[in-house]
Chain A
Amino acid sequence: MSMKELRLMKGNEAFAEAAIRAGADGYFGYPITPQSEVMEYLMAEKPHERTGMIVLQAESEVAAINMVYGGASCGKRVMTSSSSPGMSLKQEGISYIAGAELPCVILNAVRGGPGLGTIQPSQSDYFQSTKGGGHGDYRLIVLAPSSVQEMADFAPLAFDLAFKYRNPVLILSDGAIGQMMEKVELQEQRPRFTEEEIRKNTPWATMGKTPDRERNIITSLNLDSHVQEEHNIHLQAKYREIEKNETRWETIQCDDAEYILVAYGTSARLSQKAVDIARAKGIKLGLLRPITLFPFPTQPIAELANRVKGILSVEMSAGQMVEDVRLAVGDKVKVAHFGRMGGIIPSPPEIVEALESKLIGG
């Protein structure tokens, strides 16, 4: 059951199963469409009997993220998932977790907003996800899956990055990626951490003060501004290190491209089809797909900008990622944005039309 295996699964289920196999210790969540399959799958699967992992339905997203905070403080692999309105509630807790430098994994299946909005897929939480989200100067590592396979692969990757950098990792998905079914290869079961491993590998974890060490304190509070500034400087240095080591992206048909689409997640899937349509029409179009949104693939976009005629940022939002694309490109070439909002998924021909009207013709 826990060997490597191929299965046909929904993205949200694949993420849940992969998390069990990644050796997760605890999941804490609150139902919200379109990601409830995560907790439903976990509850049905009874991971406690498989690995000892616990699953708890909290009274709110606020409670769920604070359960994650408590569990992460013990050096455990803990996670939560939600969708946009719930993510707004989690921001206080995420800020504390980032401030206290704790590892955890958070999935956001983004839906159209603002407010209660719609349950359909959207990418309108890009700013919130990549620029901090809650109060204070902090960043999350943000992974953007564009397939069910990546929903599965990013669960162990997210835990590993979270522990490597003592930083929360956000998986930014949506209802399309979460609810479509695809073939997925699942990894073998990894063991959960033992208490000895936790005490050895995460010596900061609050697992009870033994006589051989000072007490451990998990806090984000520094009443002395100078100490707080030192902490801020340390956090910023960590984020620069993450930018250096962890920027991930994929390029598709960029070698001879004259125009480039930049798109992630669901938009990247549609943009890939748009590339095919454009090429059939004789337009040399390529796609750069950011896999990490923080750190953002600034460098590869800047390099492409040296040799293409224009770049179209395709997002299901009013234009959020496009700001980062523009920062990368500067005034080398024209950068335009194309997006649908409110849960509408743009069609590949629409993307090509936008390219033609905003960049090629314009």
Chain B
Amino acid sequence: MDTISKEDIRKPENIVYKRTELLTDKVMSYCPGCGHGTAHRIIMEVLEEMGIQDKTIGIAPVGCSVLAYEFMNIDMQQAAHGRAPALATAVKRLNPDKFVFTYQGDGDLAAIGTAETIHACNRGENIVIIFINNGIYGMTGGQMAPTTLEGMKSSTSPYGRDIKSMGNPIKMTELVAQLPGTIYVTRQAVHTPANVRKAKKAVRKAFENQKLNKGLSFVEIVSNCNSGWKMTPNQANQWMVDNMFPFYPLGDIKVNED
């Protein structure tokens, strides 16, 4: 049997996959098994493949991804909780030739930043919104989010979310799909290689839409929070498949092709 040496493997012609240059060498601060890291990677791969690093401005508000600027090797702005779509609106309006995206959690986008999100979508700002929905406030230690499922336990719903007293989980993605300003609205996941490929395709489509000045593309990524959910990474992924996906079904919700 032929063996290939390490040197052979490293030859450029033999390389089949390498980490994108658009991720820095900084060790990510995310918990092992968390979906944030994979989501970062596919966005950076798309920017690299499109060759638009020098024209892209990313905006991350608070949430576990508040330090996204440590990992994404592009110009970045750190926004206040919920406000990223407002920053993005101005950045894009003032720099129509740049590519602009926000990277927001569910607490950020669907609670404190609801107004900024809805109105950026409604105005049809020519930006990309990446929405990481893990059904919980990861960063602050696992409190209930607007997206927390009925009966789901969190540190502020210790007996499970009670709809009557705590309200319903909100489907922001379906909501913004109804607005004429959104051009492409989709829900993806990154827990399996097949889903990563699909999610990356969606992110690519979103940035291609921006390139064509089509309007606002909204990509939800249903993700896990093993720390907040108090599960192992594998349990968390399984729990996500069994519980999150039925309520937040994956797939395109709106694709405007004109």
B83 touches A221 (CB 8 A): no
- Residue in B54, B59, B87, B93 whose CB lies within 8 Å of A210: B54
* 24 sampled A-B residue pairs with Cβ under 8 A: A56-B93, A58-B86, A59-B119, A63-B115, A63-B119, A64-B86, A66-B90, A71-B93, A73-B91, A92-B80, A96-B80, A100-B78, A206-B75, A206-B91, A208-B56, A208-B75, A208-B98, A209-B54, A215-B69, A215-B76, A216-B75, A217-B76, A218-B76, A221-B67
Bound-complex Cα distance A71 to B59 (A): 12
- Residue in B53, B73, B80, B98 whose CB lies within 8 Å of A207: B98
Q: Report if B57 contacts A (CB, 8 A).
A: yes
Query: Which residues on A sit within 8 Å (CB–CB) of B80?
Result: 66, 69, 92-93, 96
Shortest CB distance B52–A (Å): 8
Bound-complex Cα distance A71 to B78 (A): 13
Q: Report if B194 contacts A (CB, 8 A).
A: no
In the complex, given contacts A63-B116, A215-B73, what are 10 additional A-B residue pairs having Cβ atoms less than 8 angstroms apart?
Answer: A56-B90, A67-B87, A71-B91, A71-B94, A100-B78, A206-B91, A209-B53, A215-B76, A218-B78, A219-B76
Q: Report if A254 contacts B (CB, 8 A).
A: no
Bound-complex Cα distance A243 to B195 (A): 57
Q: Name the interface residues of A71-121: CB closer than 8 Å to any CB of B.
A: 71, 73-74, 76, 78, 92-93, 96, 100
Q: Name the interface residues of B73-108: CB closer than 8 Å to any CB of A.
A: 73-80, 83, 86-91, 93-95, 98
Bound-complex Cα distance A28 to B120 (A): 14
Count of interface residues, chain B, beta-carbon cutoff 8 Å: 33
Q: Report if A37 contacts B (CB, 8 A).
A: no
Instruction: Name B residues whose Cβ lies closer than 8 Å to a Cβ of A.
Output: 53-57, 59, 66-67, 69, 72-80, 83, 86-91, 93-95, 98, 115-116, 118-119
Q: Report if A251 contacts B (CB, 8 A).
A: no
Query: Which residues on B sit within 8 Å (CB–CB) of A66?
Result: 79-80, 83, 86-87, 90, 116
- Residue in B53, B57, B83 whose CB lies within 8 Å of A62: B83
Query: Which residues on B sit within 8 Å (CB–CB) of A219?
Result: 69, 76-78
Q: Looking at B55, B57, B116, which has the most chain A CB atoms within 10 Å of its CB? A: B57
B54 touches A67 (CB 8 A): no
Bound-complex Cα distance A218 to B80 (A): 12
Bound-complex Cα distance A215 to B69 (A): 9
Query: Which residues on A sit within 8 Å (CB–CB) of B79?
Result: 66, 69-70, 96
Shortest CB distance A267–B (Å): 34
Q: Kindly state the interface size class of chain A when it binds its partner.
A: 35 or more
Supposing A59-B119, A218-B76, A221-B78 touch, asked if A70 and B91 sit within 8 A by C-beta, the answer is yes
B89 touches A207 (CB 8 A): no
Shortest CB distance A330–B (Å): 40
Closest to B93 in A: A54
Supposing A93-B83, A208-B55 touch, asked if A218 and B77 sit within 8 A by C-beta, the answer is yes
Q: Name the interface residues of A220-262: CB closer than 8 Å to any CB of B.
A: 220-221
B57 touches A68 (CB 8 A): no
Closest to A26 in B: B94
A70 touches B115 (CB 8 A): no
Bound-complex Cα distance A221 to B76 (A): 13
A208 touches B87 (CB 8 A): no
Bound-complex Cα distance A54 to B80 (A): 23
Q: Report if A60 contacts B (CB, 8 A).
A: yes
Q: Report if A17 contacts B (CB, 8 A).
A: no
Shortest CB distance A86–B (Å): 14
Bound-complex Cα distance A210 to B74 (A): 9
Q: Report if A362 contacts B (CB, 8 A).
A: no
Query: Which residues on A sit within 8 Å (CB–CB) of B90?
Result: 26, 28, 56, 66-71, 74, 78
Bound-complex Cα distance A76 to B73 (A): 22
Supposing A59-B119, A67-B90 touch, asked if A211 and B54 sit within 8 A by C-beta, the answer is yes
A209 touches B75 (CB 8 A): yes
Q: 3 nearest interchain CB pairs? A: A70-B87, A66-B86, A219-B78
Bound-complex Cα distance A63 to B112 (A): 12
B78 touches A217 (CB 8 A): yes
Closest to A52 in B: B94
B57 touches A67 (CB 8 A): no
Shortest CB distance B206–A (Å): 18
A209 touches B74 (CB 8 A): yes
Closest to B92 in A: A70
